[in-house]
A and B are shown apart, each in its own frame.
Chain A
Amino acid sequence: MALVDENRLDDQAFRMSEATAGDFFALLKPRVMSLVVFTAIVGLAAAPGSMNPLIGAIAILCIAIGAGASGALNMWYDADIDAIMKRTAKRPVPSGRVQPGEALSFGLVLSVLSVMTLGVLVNWLSAALLAFTIFFYAVIYTMWLKRWTPQNIVIGGAAGSFPPMIGWAAATGSISLESVILFAIIFLWTPPHFWALALFKSDDYQRAGIPMMPNVAGEASTRLQIFVYSLIVAPVGVLPWVLGYTSAFYGIAALLLGAGFVWYAWKVYRMPDSDRVMKPAKALFGYSLVYLATIFSLYLVDAVVERFLTAGGI
């Protein structure tokens, strides 16, 4: 009997886990989740009508958990390439702290739990959108597009663009042009944001065999495409004002922020081939984060102020 027990202990399949709660939390990609939570809050708060704040908080929590679940599924599937890239080698699965099967189960359980809770407690349209987002990120982007085409983050960017639309759907039970524009801002912002990163991390992506745009089409083509996308995202950022959804306060600020985006993208476009430090690309990457955070903050402020003024009858 003692011999059997001893054999069991030596067997890797029976190895007791050393994963802490923190490791499982890291599987949820908390930094990505914070952006998801923020944009979902904007969609939910900007939507017309009133929603019980407690139900609103539950909706945001479900969206956050759903986004985290898709992150866990992504880390389960991508453990092989994560181990190769410096940026991702310390993640829980490639570092061995969490077993692949644990990450998969964790992701699947949280996916089902977040979608069902959102459906039962809020509404089924937002739950369906959340389910689609998880599927899109885990299956369409992670399993298919990411290793197949340099357009991976262009199409896959849709997954990160859905949260404000889910927030809107949670509040209203519908989808409107306004929420589609919020989707479009993130969708069009994603390529220049990630390609700026891919420019100065191209060696990492090359080693892992991921077909990012700089590795496939070359840096010159990527720089041009970044600039073209900046020319599209800047006016789309102003659209909510043009269509009368927001005040001039948002419109003018979005115009200036968009002009800044084009300016930083222009500097990337003009970056010489010999530049290996790539300061303009790093600057654009940093600015793109500021751009998205600021434009959504302004949208939120504009919506809240307008509601306050309307409610106050001023």
Chain B
Amino acid sequence: MVSLTETQKKARRSRSKAIGFALAALVVIFYVATIVKFGPAILNRPM
């Protein structure tokens, strides 16, 4: 069992937050870019 020191815990929390933020930003970027590139036509497709 590995028990982390306070410094290690703090550093891991900081990295986790940054990774979470980066992944969320990536989702937003691709979502926005998709809407911008396709425009309203994204909803206009044969069913």
Contact = CB atoms under 8 A, between A and B. Distances in A.
A19 B16 CA distance: 11
A54 B2 CA distance: 45
Interface in A16-68: 16-22, 24-25, 52, 54-55, 58, 61
Interface string A228-271: 00000000000000000000000000000000000000000000
Contacts of B14: 20-22
B5 to A, nearest CB: 8
The dominant DSSP class at the A interface is helix
The dominant DSSP class at the B interface is helix
The interface centre, meaning the residue of A19, A20, A61 with most chain B CB atoms within 10 A of its CB, is: A20
B7 interface: yes
A275 interface: no
A16 B15 contact: no
Interface string B3-40: 01101101110110110000000000110110011000
Given A8-B2, A9-B2, A54-B36, A121 B8 contact: no
A16 B29 contact: no
Nearest to A122: B33
B35 to A, nearest CB: 9
B42 interface: no
A121 B31 CA distance: 11
Nearest to A14: B2
B26 to A, nearest CB: 8
A17 B37 CA distance: 41
Contacts of B47: none
Nearest to A15: B8
Contacts of B7: 18
Given A54-B36, A55-B36, A19 B11 contact: yes
Contact of B8 (A17, A55, A117): A17
A5 interface: yes
A68 to B, nearest CB: 12
B2 A19 contact: no
B41 interface: no
Given A5-B1, A8-B2, A9-B2, A17 B11 contact: yes
A121 B15 contact: no
A18 B8 contact: yes
A52 B32 CA distance: 11
A58 B37 CA distance: 12
B29 A20 contact: no
Nearest to A9: B2
A14 B4 CA distance: 12
The 3 closest A-B pairs by CB, nearest first: A21-B18, A20-B14, A121-B33
Given A17-B12, A121-B29, 13 more contacts: A14-B2, A16-B4, A17-B8, A17-B11, A19-B11, A20-B14, A21-B15, A21-B17, A21-B18, A22-B14, A25-B18, A52-B36, A54-B33
18 contacts: A5-B2, A8-B2, A14-B2, A16-B5, A17-B8, A17-B12, A17-B15, A18-B7, A19-B15, A20-B11, A20-B14, A20-B15, A22-B14, A54-B32, A54-B36, A55-B37, A58-B32, A61-B29
